[in-house]
Each structure stands twice: as C-alpha cells, then as structure tokens.
Copies of this chain bind each other. A is one copy, B any other.
Amino acid sequence: MTSLDELCINTIRTLVMDAVQKAKSGHPGMPMGAAPMAYVLWTRHLRLNPRNPDWFGRDRFILSAGHGSMLLYSLLHLSGFDLSLDDIKNFRQLGSKTPGHPEHGLTPGVEVSTGPLGQGFGNTVGIAIAQAHLAARFNQPGFPIVDFRVYGICSDGDLMEGVSSEATSLAGHFKLGNLIFLYDDNAITIEGSTSLTFSEDVGRRFDALGWHVQRVDGNDLEAVDGALKNAKEEKSKPSLIIARTHIACGSPNKQDTAAAHGAPLGEEEVALTKRNLGWPYAEPFTVPAEAYAPFREAAKRGAESESKWKDLLARYEKEHPKLAAEWKAFMQGELSENWRSLLPKFLSSDKPIATRTASGNVLNALAHEVPALFGGSADLAPSTMTYLDGFGDFSADNYAGRNIHFGIREHAMGTCISGIALTAPFQVFGSTFLIFSDYMRPAIRLAAMTKLKVIYVFSHDSIGLGEDGPSHQPVEHLAALRAIPNLIVLRPADAKETVAAWEFTLEHKSGPVALILSRQALPILDIEQSVISSGVRRGGYVVYESKKNMPQLLLLATGSEVHLIIAAAMELEKEGIAARAVSLPSWELFQQQPRAYRDEILPPSITARLAVEAASPLGWERFVGLQGAAIGMETFGASAPGGKLFEHFGFTVQNIVEKARSFPL
C-alpha cells in the first residue's frame, strides 16, 4: 500500500466518521472496514463517468449493504459526481442528497435504492440479467455496445436474507459471468459476532450454487486487485470475493465490535481513531487535495471509455442501421405507432374468459411489436399466462430469450425485475399468484419508492381460485397492495378491462403497476372498448345505469364481482329500485381524478352505497362511508370449487340484491 493509497482510504474513513458524528446517527463501521476494497474497485476497475452518471455503457456499482451509505457518498464525492462536501455535511438531514440509505433518483451515481438487506443483492442479479439479455440482442461481432460489468458490495446481513439465496441460485444457474460481488466479511452484526447466528461456510454455499469463489484479506489492496482481475477473467460464472474486513477498522476501542455498526463512534473515539490512523487534520470533513487524484484519474479513464463507446455506437449505426434504430427506440422507451391496433378485440358475445387468459392474449399479441416486453414467472407461467410464445427462454445458452424462468423464487423475481427496470426502459413483468405477492413485498415496496416501471401480474386473485384452499386464496392482499404509495393496483372486470389495463400499463412510466387477474372465466361487458379504456384509465366509471330514474343506490365492485353488481342492478330495476353499478378497477387512478369526475361517478347525495369485492373490505369505507356497506371477506377462505365458495361467502346476485334492499331508500 502506497502512502497515497493510505491517504485516500483514510480520507474515506474520516469523512464517514465525521458525517455520522455530525448527523448524530448512522453506520460508521462498515464503510471504515470496506474502504480499502472499495478504493481498489473504484480507482482501478470500475468504469464510470461522473460527469454523465447515466451513460449507458458504464459499469454498475451497487452497495447492497445500504447502511454503509457514507462509503458510497464518499466515493461519489471523491470521484467527482455532483455531490459536494456540503452535501456530505448534510448527511441524514431533511431534503439533503445524502439520506440515511442510498436513494436512486435522488443522488447522482446511486444506481439502486438499498438498505433493506438482500434487496440490493437481488437487484444486482437483475441488472446482470438485463446486461446479458441486451448484449445478446444487440451486440454484433466487433460491436460490443453492451459490455459493462455489474459490481456489488454485500454484507453478512445480505447473505443471511433468503432473497439473496434465491438470487444467488438464479445467478449461478444463468452463469452470469458479468457479475462480481465483494462480500464484506466483517464478522459483526447488530447483536454481536456473526458466530451467534451465522456459522455456515459461505464460500462453499456459493460454490454449490455455481459461483466462482475467492477469499482475500480485505485490507490487502493487491490481493483485492488480483481477485477482481480473476473475477473479470471468469466469464462463465458469477464471482464472489470473500474479503475478510474489520468493522470500524482503525478505531482503537470499537474496531471489530457491534458498537461500531449503527451509532456514531463518539467525539473522543473519532479523535483517537484519527490519531491511530495517522490523520493529521484537526478540521472535520478535511479532504486533502492529493486524495482526489486517483479517483479523478479513474474518472478520466471513464470519460475516455464513454467517448470510445460513443464512437463505437456511431459506427454500429452505420454498420447495423436496423439494429441501431431498434436500439435507439428501446433506449428511449418508445412504443411503436401501431401497437394499439394489435390489441385483441373482445366482444360481449364471446364466451366468458378469465382475465388471466385475456392478459395472456394481450401479451402475446404485443410481444413482437413491443420488443421491450421481457419477463417471466416464479414457476407459474402456465397458470398466470405470461409466457411469450416463440420468444425463447432466457438461459445461459440463450440470453436473448425473452421468457425468464425464475423458479419458485418470488422474492428474487421481484428484486430482479426491479434491476432490469433500472438498466433500461424495459416493459418488464414478473408473474405469480396474488397470494404469493406476500413473498415479494419488500421488492414491490422498494420499486414503488424508487418509481420503477415494473409490472406485476398477479393471477388467481380471490377465493374464486377454488379448491387450493385458504392458504392459496388472497383475502388481505388487495388492501395490502393498495396501501403502498406510488403503486397502481388494477383489477380488471373482464377481458375488455384487461385490454384497457394493459394499455394503461404500457404507457405508465412513473412507477410499478400490479395487475390483479382472475383464474375463473368472466362474462365480457356489453360496453364499447373505447368507453372501457377511458373508464379504466380514470380508475372508475359507470358500467350500468338504471334506465328509468335517477339512481337511488350505488353498487361498487372490481374484477370478478363487477358482473354480479350489474346483474344485481338489473334485478333491482325490476323491483323499481334504480341502482347504478360502478366498476372501480383502480382506486389509485380514480383518486387522481378531479373531484368533479369522482362526484359525477359517485354522487355525494347518494349515501346508499354497497361495495362488493371478494377480499378484505378494509378501505372500501372511503367509497361507501359510514352509511354504506360492503360485502367482502372478513375471514380466510376455504377449499371447494370456486363457484361454491362464491355462494358460500355471499358473492351472489341474490345476496347483493338482498343487502341492497335493506338500505332505507
């Protein structure tokens, strides 16, 4: 280690200590221990251009151990990203660019929002999948326009979380040679030594899962450098470099202790540590000018790489004009002009059809014209109907395949599709049964927080799935998804609403969408597709209106219950009760409408309101109020044919009519 190396590493360590100390909160230990290996990675290997953080050809760096955010902020600052020392002094303050855990979209150079452990690890595998896929689709001999690598730093905590095991297995299975993880093996967690809980042989585990594994001393710069070189050479396997490090490295009293994990070291210990590190500067947040040099050198090389890449792309455009045009359209997230004309047309005279089936029809009708459609299922494609016929399987032998088999790994699927969305403007989807959305909630939440454009296809959406029973029947899942900010939940009522839901989804760019689909066949609405498309886009609209009078009663439903309220409204009409049936496929979209529209659909003067949804009624009160009522599921379901369950739990025209009659009209 040269004295310049040491200076740079200690600059990171002291910035970390000072920032955490000033904020009076944060995680100093991990960054101090991981600083040497991060320094080697950032100054000798990582290809970035801090002046253009979004340059597509850059390597990706993901700090899965997001609590070590000050490590990343230090690296970004030293490398010349738009992150000043003042920003670092504002660590963890309201409105700063340096929040407690890294947030993508807020801080230039932060590729992924990380913090909840294991998530970043999974996202990283997703980015590596996207890289391999784009390379297979667009690279040409002599034109490696997609050739970046994906680097990550992960912690003990990342590796204890199940999602990382799932993602590890997938990455090994797919032989993602573009993926390199440094494992910050500091042997300390919040409760103490990892020996309390974590005695597994991590290297052997990764080896069993198809990874290339190396072990180094994390303080030995040349060893880290050599391991990174080896990892880059190994192109047929993802790499794990197990780097033994020391939490709070350099702190005389807190190194290698849990006390250094999640709290400031304390003024006195900071001073002692600086002295111990041979740090001569009294002023906190001191960055010696020399310490910038190696990072700026690397940045210069990164900028040169970008220039070369741009030249390559220009030559690619001449040599492969058709592919280059596709590339450009892809990277701009454009939809072709005529995609809408390819949407399947359903007629009310058609046989009833499950919305999962209609959804599969839409996907397959569009797959050719929308080349950004890419995704797969957690081993349920034949049931969720998301397979893109004729577009091959993504596999180590065929990274160009557009169907990803995630295996029975919903959580990894969730994190991977977020990683894919982060890489390029894909129309990326992941599918499973609605019940299993629970397995991937942390990933859904982070996608929503980061406003990622990912599409969840959740079928088998209620007791209507039938015999598989209560452990497979979602009850609380609609409410649980509706509670997540920035997530659009869409539960179409029939095939036409399903077409409309996909229309909306493909054009929606500001966050994730969850499509909630039925297993069972549903009748097709006798309403023009254009009316339905406009209604779905607004989240709610009238699907049946009494012909005789002004409505006295509002019936509200989503999905498979909409045809029931229409039939009930017709029935009530015969009895002289004027009911309006409203389909509310998306509460979020409906609530985004102007009040005038909402009041037009749900006139405030009508307080007799009955909601019908085969799910927990939690939240329906916002539409039906204290005078209204809801027919929902207050209990878990049961194992029986779906039709029988609809009867058993009161989702029948007759029960709706009876409940409706009980309103004082």
Given the complex of chains A and B, what is the CA–CA distance between A173 and B201 in angstroms?
A: 11
Contacts of A33 in B (CB 8 A): none
Binary per-residue interface labels of chain A (34-73) against chain B in the complex, 1 for a CB within 8 Å, 0 otherwise = 0000000000000000000000000000000010000000
Given the complex of chains A and B, what is the CA–CA distance between A101 and B607 in angstroms?
A: 42
Contacts of A627 in B (CB 8 A): 625
Contacts of A382 in B (CB 8 A): 190-191
A208 contact from B200, B435, B619, Cβ within 8 A: B200
Given the complex of chains A and B, what is the CA–CA distance between A377 and B191 in angstroms?
A: 9
A636 contact from B201, B411, B472, B485, Cβ within 8 A: B485
Given the complex of chains A and B, what is the CA–CA distance between A169 and B95 in angstroms?
A: 40
Binary per-residue interface labels of chain A (621-663) against chain B in the complex, 1 for a CB within 8 Å, 0 otherwise = 1100111000001111011110011001000000000000000
Q: Indicate whether A284 reaches chain B with its CB closer than 8 angstroms.
A: no
Contacts of A619 in B (CB 8 A): 479, 618-619, 621
Q: Indicate whether A212 reaches chain B with its CB closer than 8 angstroms.
A: no
A438 contact from B409, B441, B449, B645, Cβ within 8 A: B441
Binary per-residue interface labels of chain A (464-497) against chain B in the complex, 1 for a CB within 8 Å, 0 otherwise = 0011111110011001101111100000000000
Q: Which A184-210 residues sit within 8 Å CB-CB of chain B?
A: 189-191, 196-205, 207-210
Q: A159: nearest residue on chain B (CB-CB)? A: B408
Contacts of A407 in B (CB 8 A): 160, 189, 196-198
Binary per-residue interface labels of chain A (515-537) against chain B in the complex, 1 for a CB within 8 Å, 0 otherwise = 00000000000000000000000
Given the complex of chains A and B, what is the CA–CA distance between A533 and B105 in angstroms?
A: 47
Contacts of A448 in B (CB 8 A): 636
Q: Indicate whether A94 reaches chain B with its CB closer than 8 angstroms.
A: yes
The answer on a CB contact under 8 Å between B618 and A479 is yes
Q: A644: nearest residue on chain B (CB-CB)? A: B94
Q: A471: nearest residue on chain B (CB-CB)? A: B115
Given the complex of chains A and B, what is the CA–CA distance between A197 and B439 in angstroms?
A: 18
A162 contact from B100, B409, B472, B622, Cβ within 8 A: B409
Binary per-residue interface labels of chain A (570-582) against chain B in the complex, 1 for a CB within 8 Å, 0 otherwise = 0000000000000
Q: A625: nearest residue on chain B (CB-CB)? A: B626
Contacts of A189 in B (CB 8 A): 379, 407-408
Known A-B contacts A469-B100, A479-B479; A94 and B638 likewise in contact (beta carbons under 8 Å): yes
The answer on a CB contact under 8 Å between A101 and B173 is no
A200 contact from B25, B117, B210, B436, Cβ within 8 A: B210
The answer on a CB contact under 8 Å between A101 and B197 is no
A94 contact from B25, B208, B395, B640, Cβ within 8 A: B640
Q: Indicate whether A113 reaches chain B with its CB closer than 8 angstroms.
A: yes
Contacts of A205 in B (CB 8 A): 205, 208-209
Q: A258: nearest residue on chain B (CB-CB)? A: B382
The smallest C-beta distance from A554 to any residue of chain B, in angstroms, reads: 12
The answer on a CB contact under 8 Å between A475 and B467 is no
Contacts of A172 in B (CB 8 A): 199-200
Contacts of A626 in B (CB 8 A): 604, 607, 622, 625-626
Given the complex of chains A and B, what is the CA–CA distance between A322 and B632 in angstroms?
A: 52
18 CB contacts below 8 A, A to B, read A23-B467, A92-B467, A100-B467, A101-B471, A101-B472, A103-B469, A115-B468, A117-B408, A160-B379, A160-B407, A162-B166, A191-B381, A202-B208, A439-B441, A476-B484, A480-B480, A618-B619, A621-B625
Closest 4 CB pairs of A and B: A162-B162, A197-B407, A99-B639, A165-B165
9 new A-B contacts, CB < 8 A, other than A160-B409, A436-B442, A483-B616, are: A93-B641, A95-B638, A99-B470, A160-B166, A173-B198, A191-B380, A196-B395, A204-B208, A486-B636
